[in-house]
Amino acid sequence: MRSDQPKLIDFYAAFEFELAEELEYSHANPMEPAPLVMRRLLRH
């Protein structure tokens, strides 16, 4: 996990994003820790 990710998670959570632990970022650099993926459900 990057050192700035906890701050970013809090920031996006304020806009109704949630962690999507079952999703994997397909373009992640294999030499670095896997990034966390977030999602926001759209309403109409």
CA angle 11, 9, 12 (to 5 degrees): 40
3-state secondary structure of 39: strand
Mean pLDDT of 20-41: 87
**Nearest C-alpha neighbor of 13 from the set 44, 32, 43, 36:** 36
Mean pLDDT of 12-32: 89
| Per-residue model confidence (pLDDT) at position 23 | 87
Statement: residue 1 has pLDDT above 80: no
| Per-residue model confidence (pLDDT) at position 34 | 79
